[in-house]
Amino acid sequence: MSAPLIKVPSEGQKIVAGQPIPDNPIIPFIEGDGIGVDITPVMKAVVDAAVAKAYGGKKKISWMEVYAGEKATRLYGPDVWLPEETLAACKEFPVSIKGPLTTPVGGGIRSLNVALRQELDLYQCVRPVRYFKGIPSPLKDPSKTDMVIFRENTEDIYAGIEWMAESDNARKIIKFLQDEMGVKKIRFPATSSIGIKPVSREGTERLVRAAIKYAVDNDRRSVTLVHKGNIMKYTEGGFRDWGYALAQSEFGAKPIDGGPWCSFKNPKTGRDIVIKDAIADAFLQQILLRPAEYDVIATLNLNGDYISDALAAQVGGIGIAPGANISDVYAVFEATHGTAPKYAGKDYVNPGSLILSAEMMLRHMGWKEAADLIISSMEAAIADKIVTYDFARLMEGATEVKCSAFGQAMIERM
């Protein structure tokens, strides 16, 4: 156990669940690998400016750096990727924000992002996808894309239960499947890796419940359960069936034309909320062709990962795709994208994704005025065609600016 490196700011107070948010909350942040060094300071500067402007000095965030990823290995030792004190800090200070963290492909460490979600049981990955006027998009009318993805964040193949082909454990599990479970369909048993995909009723229910509650609270028109239940009948098919059953048992939804689609009246607005489902492959073409038909999306972990980036592309790309990982106690905000290593340290990429993740964090804290300022200043900068490279390369007459200058352009427009 190494000496503690996290410095708790002397000014600032802890956020405590069930109590009002203090005016000077301590918010842990992980800078992140790759472009984390570029976007995280810009996010902090924009948030500080929005909070100062909105509350005239009455409220202020006390940022507390906590460490993970490559920076943690430099500070704590070569094998310490996710220090215990970082996990402890994210529990003690329950609202935090993080930059992206690298996960090697094939061998090497398992995802630290996934580990954090599992350790804190952050079962909802909430990723809103909306269009900002003026952003270049491959769609004729990108404003029709307005969805909120609720991605299950703790189960599915992200549980990381897998064994490498030709290892003793892979041989053992294959033998068990063949000898004791009657499995005959492993095409190349001698050279197969094996992965296991746990999907539970409890995990599905809490995620679908959160998605439907969101639809109720935000007057949304439908919740679509996206799955591949025709092929994976008990995991993805289970997700669909458990989701429908929960809509009926907890929200009083009634089948439409004999089901399986069902609907109920939103108790807050009296308007119908439809619960429907779509098979993931067909869904991916429909969100391009008929995006207006989809609203809140509830889906499994892997589908949600793919859908997040696909939908982000429809409204301009992952440079402005925000997200939140939420449990019943903790919230860790993070962008949808990764570390984009080729751009690291160049002050080049779009900080919008992490800034909009912080905007979600401010709204989560009830700091609506500061959150609104972030949205309006981003809209104003884009309307003035001041954008980073990702938008500039597709826009006529844009002024391309660096990552930090985009943040500055937002601050000037608050």
Among residues 59, 98, 228, 276, which one is catalytic? 228
- Compute the distance between CA of residue 113 and CA of residue 117 in angstroms, rounded to an integer: 6
Among residues 33, 156, 241, 305, which one is catalytic? 305
Q: Which residues contact 160 (CB under 8 A, 6 or more apart)?
A: 110, 111, 114
Residue 142 partner contact from ligand NDP, Mg ion, ligand AKG, none using kind-dependent CB cut-offs of 5 to 8 Å = none
Backbone dihedral angles phi then psi of residue 374, each to the nearest 5 degrees: -65, -45
Residue 318 within binding range of ligand NDP, rule CB under 6 A = yes
- Helices 368-383 + 352-364 axis angle, to 10: 160
Residue 401 within binding range of ligand NDP, rule CB under 6 A = no
Backbone dihedral angles phi then psi of residue 326, each to the nearest 5 degrees: -130, 135
Q: Are 226 and 277 in contact (CB under 8 A)?
A: yes
Residue 314 within binding range of ligand AKG, rule CB under 6 A = no
Q: Which of residues 299-328 bind Mg ion (CB under 5 A)?
A: 305
Q: Give me the least distance between CB of 390 and ligand NDP, in Å please.
A: 4
Q: Is 117 known to sit in a ligand binding site?
A: yes
Q: Which of residues 272-291 bind Mg ion (CB under 5 A)?
A: none
Q: Is 393 known to sit in a ligand binding site?
A: yes
Residue 156 within binding range of ligand AKG, rule CB under 6 A = no
123 is catalytic: no
3-state secondary structure of 296: strand
**Using CB under 6 A, which of the segments 133-141, 275-283, 288-296, 317-325 binds ligand NDP?**
317-325
Q: Give me the least distance between CB of 35 and ligand AKG, in Å please.
A: 14
Residue 114 partner contact from ligand AKG, Mg ion, ligand NDP, none using kind-dependent CB cut-offs of 5 to 8 Å = ligand AKG
* Residue least distant from ligand NDP (Cβ): 338
Size of the site for Mg ion (CB under 5 A): 1
Residue 114 within binding range of ligand AKG, rule CB under 6 A = yes
**Using CB under 6 A, which of the segments 51-59, 110-118, 375-383, 386-394 binds ligand AKG?**
110-118
- Distance (Å) of CA 19 to CA 14, 15, 202, 365: 10, 8, 28, 11
Amino acid, res. 376:
S
Residue with Cβ nearer ligand AKG (39 or 49): 39
Residue 70 within binding range of ligand AKG, rule CB under 6 A = no
- Compute the distance between CA of residue 283 and CA of residue 301 in angstroms, rounded to an integer: 16
Place of tokens 């600016």: 401
Burial 155-194 (b: 16+ CB within 10 A, else e): bbbbbeeebeeeeeebbebbeebeeeeeeeeeeebeebeb
Residue 111 within binding range of ligand AKG, rule CB under 6 A = yes
**Using CB under 6 A, which of the segments 97-105, 228-236, 284-292, 356-364 binds ligand NDP?**
97-105
Structure tokens given for 336: 């949808």
Residue 306 within binding range of ligand AKG, rule CB under 6 A = no
Size of the site for ligand NDP (CB under 6 A): 19
Residue 152 within binding range of Mg ion, rule CB under 5 A = no
- Taking the CA atoms of residue 286, residue 291, residue 296 and residue 300 in that order, the dihedral angle to the nearest 10 degrees is 30
Q: Is 151 known to sit in a ligand binding site?
A: yes
Residue 113 within binding range of ligand NDP, rule CB under 6 A = yes
- Identify the sign of the CA torsion 387, 393, 398, 400: positive
Q: Is 141 known to sit in a ligand binding site?
A: no
- Distance (Å) of CA 347 to CA 136, 196, 343: 21, 40, 8
Q: Which of residues 321-340 bind ligand AKG (CB under 6 A)?
A: 336, 338
281 is catalytic: yes
Cis amide linkage into residue 260, ω under 30° from 0: yes
Q: Are 45 and 81 in contact (CB under 8 A)?
A: no
Selected from 62, 103, 143, 178, the binder of ligand AKG by CB under 6 A is 103
The radius of gyration of the chain's CA atoms, rounded to the nearest angstrom, is 22
Name the nearest CA neighbour of 45 among 34, 33, 58, 29.
29
Q: Which residues contact 187 (CB under 8 A, 6 or more apart)?
A: none
Q: Are 154 and 117 in contact (CB under 8 A)?
A: yes
305 is catalytic: yes
Annotated binding-site positions: 102, 111, 113, 117, 127, 151, 305, 337-343, 350, 389, 393
**Interaction site with Mg ion (CB under 5 A):** 305
Residues that bind ligand AKG (CB under 6 A): 103, 111, 113-114, 305, 308, 336, 338
Would you list which residues are annotated within the binding site for Mg(2+)?
305
Bind-site residues for D-threo-isocitrate: 111, 113, 117, 127, 151
Residues designated as active site: 158, 228, 281, 305
- Binding residue numbers for NADP(+): 102, 337-343, 350, 389, 393
